[in-house]
């Protein structure tokens, strides 16, 4: 099971810009490296990250092999209403991990 | 069998010619530059890139190219009518120029993105932002990498 960490405030005032930091445990194998016998190590990376706020997509990113291992993404969103934020990482070899976090907006 | 002088000269010339070809054929620097320009053109669709509004922040001297923290911040009010639609980051010397492409909108509140990249070699890093009015703005930073990413297997 892949470990993911999401760091964001649990409560916010309406209209506040909150910062969300996410980290996913993944080697992000580039597909450009070779083994000692000269064979290419096949690519195995996370290709897409999405963040939905109460079902509406607010942030999306396409990742390429040039993103470091254990990809960190830090972005922001406006706290509009109480609810849940859903984070999803998808990638090579049917990689699919999601995480959700609740937010209370006062 | 003894080698005549004529045979030797021909052989030497042949060896020189193949040696020179082996060095010249893969002009990696030019290929990578073309790949970078291609990748940027794919994003902009040929629209002009203007300097300004985008601030790409990363250390100018990188000790370890395997994990380079970088932040892209774009000056924008982030309203429904005037916001940043996408942020793209490219590198000049990597085997593949794309690093990350992120789509945001007025709900982001602030046009800022941080991540960690792999940078293969000393060269330029470029950030491009697409605004809601269709214009493209960019920032370019030259970095020096002392320990490059994927060095242990020789740069491909």
A4-97: CATH, from 1.25.40.10, 3.40.50.720, 2.60.40.10, 1.20.1250.20 = 2.60.40.10
Q: Nearest-CA neighbor of A61 among B44, B10, B117?
A: B117
Of A50-59, B115-124, B141-150, the range with the lowest mean pLDDT is: B141-150
B15: alpha, beta or left? (left if phi > 0; alpha if psi -120 to 50) = alpha
Residue B11 inside a domain? The answer is no
Residue ranges covered by each domain of chain A:
4-97
Q: Which of A64, A74, A75 is the closest to B104 by Cβ?
A: A75
Decide if A53 and B107 are in contact by the 8 Å CB cutoff. yes
Average pLDDT of chain B?
Answer: 84
The model carries a pTM of: 0.82
Q: Nearest-CA neighbor of B138 among B66, B47, B31?
A: B47
Residue B19 inside a domain? The answer is no
Average pLDDT estimate for B107-117? 92
pLDDT over 50 at B155, yes or no: no
Residue B21 inside a domain? The answer is no
Decide if B108 and A58 are in contact by the 8 Å CB cutoff. yes
Q: Which percentage of chain B shows pLDDT scores above 90?
A: 38
Q: Which residue has the tokens 């530059």?
A: B33
Decide if B99 and A60 are in contact by the 8 Å CB cutoff. no
> B105 is in which domain, residue-wise?
27-147
Cα–Cα distance, B47 to B9 (Å, whole number): 55
């Amino acid at each position: 099971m892949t470990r993911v960490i999401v760091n964001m405030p649990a409560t916010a005032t309406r209209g506040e810009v909150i910062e969300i930091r996410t980290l996913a445990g993944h080697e992000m194998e580039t597909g450009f490296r070779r083994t000692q016998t000269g064979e290419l190590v096949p690519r195995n990376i996370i290709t897409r990250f999405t963040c939905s706020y109460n079902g509406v997509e607010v942030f999306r990113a396409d990742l390429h092999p040039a993103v470091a291992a254990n990809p960190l993404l830090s972005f922001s969103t406006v706290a509009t209403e109480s609810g849940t934020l859903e984070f999803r990482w998808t990638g090579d070899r049917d990689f699919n991990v999601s995480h959700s976090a609740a937010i209370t907006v006062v | 069998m003894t080698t005549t002088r004529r045979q030797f000269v021909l052989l030497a010339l042949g060896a020189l010619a193949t040696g020179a070809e082996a060095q010249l054929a893969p002009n990696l620097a030019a290929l990578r530059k073309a790949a970078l320009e291609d990748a940027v053109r794919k994003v902009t669709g040929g629209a002009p890139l203007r300097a300004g509004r985008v601030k790409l922040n990363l250390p100018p001297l990188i000790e370890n190219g395997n994990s380079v923290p970088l932040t892209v911040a774009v000056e924008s009010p982030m309203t429904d009518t005037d916001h940043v639609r996408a942020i793209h980051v490219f590198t000049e010397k990597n085997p593949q120029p794309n690093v990350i492409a992120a789509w945001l909108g007025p709900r982001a509140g602030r046009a800022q993105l941080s991540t960690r990249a792999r940078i293969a070699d000393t060269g330029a890093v470029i950030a491009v932002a697409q605004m809601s009015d269709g214009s493209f703005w960019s920032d370019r930073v030259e970095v020096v990498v002392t320990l490059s990413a994927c060095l242990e297997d020789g740069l491909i």
